């Protein structure tokens, strides 16, 4: 998932936006643009963390080659 790969970068960007906004050195236009950008980032990050889908797979190895199989996750299915 793309958002997961860029998660750390997105968090860093968000932190920078927060710091920039707090510095008080931005114009109103710049501030509003950054604010919008920051809110979008924050929402995206929350969505990724709150995601309800997860995969449970089994790592198999045959003749040195890896493959993934579904893992029958009986107990936590309920």
> For binding to another protein (CB under 8 A), which residues are involved?
1, 4, 7-8, 11, 14-15, 17-18, 21-22, 24, 26, 28, 31-32, 35, 38-39, 42, 45-46, 48-59, 61, 66, 68, 71, 73, 75-76
Closer by beta carbon to another protein, 1 or else 63: 1
CA distance 64 to 61: 6
Give the list of residues 6+ apart from residue 3 with CB closer than 8 angstroms, or none: 10, 44, 45, 47, 48
**Closest approach of Cβ 25 to another protein, in Å?**
10
């Amino acid at each position: 998932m793309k958002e997961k790969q860029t998660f750390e970068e997105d968090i860093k960007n968000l932190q920078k936006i927060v710091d920039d906004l707090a510095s008080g050195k931005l114009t109103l236009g710049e501030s509003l643009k950054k604010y919008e950008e920051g809110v979008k980032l924050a929402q995206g990050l929350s969505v990724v963390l709150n995601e309800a889908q997860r995969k449970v797979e089994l790592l198999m190895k045959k003749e040195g080659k890896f493959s993934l199989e579904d893992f029958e996750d009986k107990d936590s299915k309920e």
